[in-house]
Amino acid sequence: MRPVKLNVIDLPKSDYTGGPSSLCPGCGHDQISGVIIQACWENGIDPSRIAKMSGIGCSSKTPAYFLGKSHGFNTVHGRMPSVTTGANMVNKDLVYLGVSGDGDSASIGIGQFIHAIRRNLNMVYIIENNGVYGLTKGQYSATVQKGSKKRKGAPNEQPPIDMCKLAINLGCGFVARSFSGAKKQLTALMKAALSHRGMAVIDVISPCVTFANNDESYSSYGYVKDHGEELHGIDYIHHFQPLNEVDIPEGGYEDVQLFDGSVLRLETLSSEYDHTNPTAAIAALHNAEVDKKHVTGLLHHNTEMPTA
């Protein structure tokens, strides 16, 4: 019998799991749940110190599927940031993990999202972005790219709201985008977000296999794999881990120091990109939208904004 592998606080990964998923088989959201489990376990965060916060939607069902020993609050539609604000004011010792979707955050909850960033709440805000309202038969959401077409119906004719652009323009100190199928990249970003002090936003493109996984959809598995553009190779180094225990070789990288002493190591793929420059991030996102691509990685990082 194999010995059970323990993390730095001597807990097995099974202590970080949740109940069985009721989402559609192959849903990208389940991949994100697996990454959250892996990141929290590898970071050595005691599950009893985590508060899972969510709104309404397919995405907001997922906290039942991970961290079953953590605190949890399933709020009303679009109001997760307000409830998290109140919890944060009462207890700043918890690690707040907010899970939302493109409908919950970019439509009914967009005002809440804006003010949470303005206050710089100490939380990780995950947007599980599939471009449709999966619980109500797949209407387009506000984040879907113009020209994208779901399985049934006409192509989307409205311009998208880019949640990463919005977060950067509002001064968010940690903004990243990833893909639910990019496990290594997403895990590194998730661990870094958990180590950041203040608001950390991760927009995760998560294909809806029921309504929008067809070839004409810009959010399908095939499209994102063919049109994804990584800004950098990426690895995460825990504060209790030697700096040489990473995949990226010496030279051609930059180390981003995080609040708890951990490091996010970025292998530079483009000498023109500077993650500390919000203008560069906005330009990269704009160019990706024009080219109908998805740019992923750590888009922007700034530690100077005071937290609430």
- Rounded to a whole number of angstroms, the distance between the first and last alpha carbons of the chain is 48
User: For the segment 287-298, what is each residue's pLDDT rounded down to a tens digit?
Assistant: 999 999 999 999
| Amino acid at the residue 88 | N
Identify which of 70-79, 207-216, 217-226 has the greatest average pLDDT.
70-79
For 25-133+140-301, CATH gives 3.40.50.970
pLDDT at 247 over 70: no
Rounded mean pLDDT, 33-62: 97
How high does pLDDT run on average in the chain?
A: 90
Cα angle 246, 250, 251 (rounded to 5 degrees) comes to 135
Lowest mean per-residue pLDDT among 16-20, 172-176, 235-239, 292-296: 235-239
What's the whole-model pTM score? 0.92
pLDDT at 82 over 90: yes
Residue-level pLDDT at 5: 95
Between CA 123 and CA 125 the distance in angstroms is 6
User: For the segment 150-200, what is each residue's pLDDT rounded down to a tens digit?
Assistant: 989 899 999 999 999 999 999 999 999 999 999 999 999 999 999 999 999
Q: What is the residue whose two structure tokens read 């927009």?
A: 203
Residue ranges of the domains in the chain?
Answer: 25-133+140-301
Rounded mean pLDDT, 248-276: 70
Q: Which residues pair with 301 in a beta bridge?
A: 174
Residue 113: φ, ψ to 5°:
-60, -45
Sheet with 95-101: strands ordered across: 71-74, 50-54, 95-101, 123-129, 199-205, 174-179, 294-301, 228-230
Between CA 203 and CA 108 the distance in angstroms is 17
Identify which of 12-21, 147-156, 254-263 has the greatest average pLDDT.
12-21
Residue-level pLDDT at 268: 58
